[in-house]
Amino acid sequence: MRVFVLDKNLNPLDPCHSARARELLQKGRAKVFKRYPFTIVMQDRTVEESTVHPHRIKIDPGSQTTGIAVVQEENGRVTNALEISHRGQQIKDSLESRSSLRRGRRNRKTRYRKPRFLNRSRKAEWLPPSLESRIANIETWVRRIRKICPVTAISQELVRFDLQQLQNPEINGVEYQRGELFGFDVKEYLLAKWGRKCAYCSAENLPLEIEHIVAKSKGGSNRVTNLTLACRKCNETKGNLPVEQFLKKKPDLLGKILRQTKASLKDATAVNATRGKLYRRLQSTGLPVEVGTGGRTKFNRKTRGIEKHHWTDAACVGASTPEKLLLQGVKPLKIVAKGHGTRQRCRPDKYGFPARHAPKAKFFMGFVTGDMVKADILSGKYAGKYTGRIAIRFRPNFMLLLREQRFDVHPKYLRTIQRADGYEYRI
């Protein structure tokens, strides 16, 4: 994992190795500029005195987690990687809760009011807040990375281009359908839908084959609702038997498979609904934006022998992916979207009636909810050193929020390492 570097005028330089960053800090030639992502600022160098290489931001958008990789284009080195966890479902639940409380209040207070409808207008390309937040998170981190790294281009997983026709304009018929990337898009969808395991025996970490629930010889189609994944043994054993006959001794598994064929596609829908708008937002940065399909991403990752993670998928997006990606030592920064709190002062109970009132002030003893802090607790049950996020109370008794636990801590044991910015960070 490389360290972002700024010159003394806060212009981005090439990221450097962590050992080099420690050396610069020890000699006093650099100072810490930001903790997450870790960035140093040089005290004796400008961008005119340095050689700066072009970098590319590569993005693999997801419904729940988005992977981002920063790749140096000349040598294929992945200098930094991020995995952003979105809070779309949390936003949706909050909006539904607020809506139900408002509806109940209106029914109690204005039950005879004439119904109103069509009295709201939405701007062009409006998206629900739960989807808009995903785009906003990616936009935020693209903008932040551009401030601390010399980025010259962006790659995004978006659509499937006809790469076969570009290579061979005469291709047609079955050859057109079964080219270099044949099956990658469909199989990637099935892997995500069926949890990357055999639908009949739940075997994992072995080659899986596309299997027709209703065999083609029995009138089955190639529609994805009729496709699943099976290991070689189960695929051959089932053959063209009806799935009801093949699983007649396993009625629970049969019911699960039939339900799964009609499973909700909300995650895929969220990605499809946001990818076009995200592409247009990225274009507005003024940088060239390359796009690639999910099939191309998987093809690049498989041919280079890279394990699947959100950030490795991002590094493999698009045709610009170099033949050799240098991934050694890269450890992604885990970023969890937490929002910026609420302006609501009057907090209701579960029935919608006022229960308590939040203070107007945001700061207390120099801290604010969401600050990343280091805690050095000297004694007691929780003695030790911790790094995490805090939730303040307006008394000397804050809540320290860690990954595995949470407990109260006095502010005198805390030291702020990064101010609240709407995100939580983990290595």
What is the DSSP secondary-structure string of 318-376? Answer: STT--SS-B-TT--PEEEEE--------EEE-TTSSEEEE--S---BTTB-TT-EEEEE
Q: What percent of the chain has pLDDT over 70?
A: 93
pLDDT number for residue 265: 66
Which domains can be identified in the chain, with CATH numbers? 3-49 (no CATH), 182-260 (1.10.30), 346-420 (2.30.30)
DSSP string, 8-47: TTS-EEEEE-HHHHHHHHHTTSEEEEETTTTEEEESS--G
Residues near 411 by beta carbon (within 8 Å), at least 6 away in sequence: 365, 366, 367, 396, 398
Q: Angle at the Cα of 160 (from 156 to 161), degrees rounded to 5? A: 100
Task: Look at residue 358 and tell me whether its pLDDT is greater than 80.
Answer: yes
Q: Is 153 helix (H, G, I), strand (E, B) or coil?
A: strand
Q: Is the peptide bond before 61 cis (omega within 30 degrees of 0)?
A: no
Residue 22 pLDDT exceeds 80: yes
- Name residues whose C-beta falls within 8 Å of residue 360's C-beta, 6 or more positions apart in sequence: 345
What is the per-residue pLDDT across 375-397, written as a single tens digit (0 to 9) for each? 999 988 999 999 999 999 888 88
Encode pLDDT of 242-280 as tens digits: 888 888 888 888 888 888 777 666 777 788 888 889 999
| Three-class secondary structure of residue 71 per DSSP | strand
Q: Give pLDDT tens digits for 111-166.
A: 788 877 777 788 888 999 999 999 999 999 999 999 999 999 999 998 543 444 44
d(CA 132, CA 122): 14
Query: Is residue 423 over pLDDT 60?
Result: yes
Q: What is the pLDDT of residues 84-99, one digit of tens each?
A: 999 999 999 999 988 8
pLDDT-derived band at 77 (thresholds 50, 70, 90) equals very high
- Averaged pLDDT of the chain: 87
pLDDT at 152: 95
Higher pLDDT, 43 or 172: 43
Distance CA 379, CA 185 (A): 56
| Whether pLDDT at 349 is above 90 | no
Q: How high is the pLDDT of residue 254?
A: 87
Q: What are phi and psi of 86, to 5 degrees?
A: -85, 165
Whats the size of the chain, residue-wise? 427
Residue 277 φ then ψ, to 5°: -70, -40
Q: Token pair of 185, please?
A: 């898009």
pLDDT band at 220 (very low <50, low <70, confident <90, very high): confident
Cβ neighbours of residue 405 closer than 8 Å, sequence gap 6 or more: none
Sequence-separated (6 or more) residues with CB below 8 Å from residue 145: 57, 68, 70, 80, 151
Least confident of 3-12, 40-49, 267-276, 318-327: 267-276
Q: What average pLDDT does the segment 408-415 reach?
A: 93
pLDDT in tens, 169-203: 555 555 555 554 455 567 877 887 788 899 999 88
